[in-house]
Amino acid sequence: MDSQLSDLNEEGLGSPVTPFRAKVSHLELGRRPLHTLQINLGKLCNQACHHCHVEAGPKRPEIMAWPVMAQILLLLESQPGVNTVDLTGGAPEMNPNFKEFVRALRAQGKTVIDRCNLTVLFEPGQEETARFLADHQVQIVASLPCYSKDNVDKQRGRGVFDKSIQGLRLLNELGYGQKGSGLELNLVYNPGGAFLPPPQDKLEEDYKRELMEL
């Protein structure tokens, strides 16, 4: 291999690879204050997506128990610099202690982010979840992997796109994404293959155009 690289370099067809450590050797690395804590509440989810990096699903029993949550709350009381708590999963709402945990976090004055797959809002026992999120001013990061029905259903299962749009409309009715409501709603895009997403401003333009036509 070394001789081949040498031959390529002599012909001007290759260049030596600079080690990563050498590339960053001039940088001073330091730890910054922690402002956001992301917490995975478990792998239980009402969906079973091919791309899920934690392999969450309806049959996954691993969920965070309340004693662990209580320890986190104690830790956060001593860490006032942590002003945002980002809840993820699985579907974090399916943790039976989700609402109690959110109430406790909001009582500490923390900004709470819920990474919601939208369809969970229509699961049995979740009928009041959307209203709960609005009442407690929880920011929602909604996972809608694409604005195309075919792409979403291919990635997440038949009917998921339509139910996700239904979830967005429910949140809109409660004030999410509406000017002056103070209820923040963001959408997350997931590429359908081994490629990078388009520029965010282009994605935003495409989402607005396609979703407004539904």
All domains in the chain, ordered by first residue: 33-212 (3.20.20.70)
| Residue 58 pLDDT greater than 90, yes or no | no
Q: Can you give the pTM of this predicted structure? A: 0.78
Q: What spatial distance separates the first Cα and last Cα of the chain, rounded to whole Å?
A: 56
Q: What is the pLDDT of residues 87-110, one digit of tens each?
A: 998 899 999 999 999 999 999 999
Which of 12-21, 57-66, 77-86 is least confident?
12-21
| Residue 12 pLDDT greater than 70, yes or no | no
User: How confident is residue 170, by pLDDT bands cut at 50, 70 and 90?
Assistant: very high
User: Distance between CA atoms of 84 and 80, rounded to whole angstroms?
Assistant: 10
Who has greater pLDDT, 46 or 172? Answer: 172
User: Distance between CA atoms of 57 and 85, rounded to whole angstroms?
Assistant: 23
Residue 189 in contact with residue 197, Cβ under 8 Å?
yes
Angle at which helix 66-77 crosses helix 98-107, to 10 degrees, equals 10
Residue 76 in contact with residue 110, Cβ under 8 Å?
yes
Element of type H or E holding 130: helix 129-135
Angle at 178 between CA 176 and CA 181, to 5 degrees: 75
User: How confident is residue 24, by pLDDT bands cut at 50, 70 and 90?
Assistant: confident
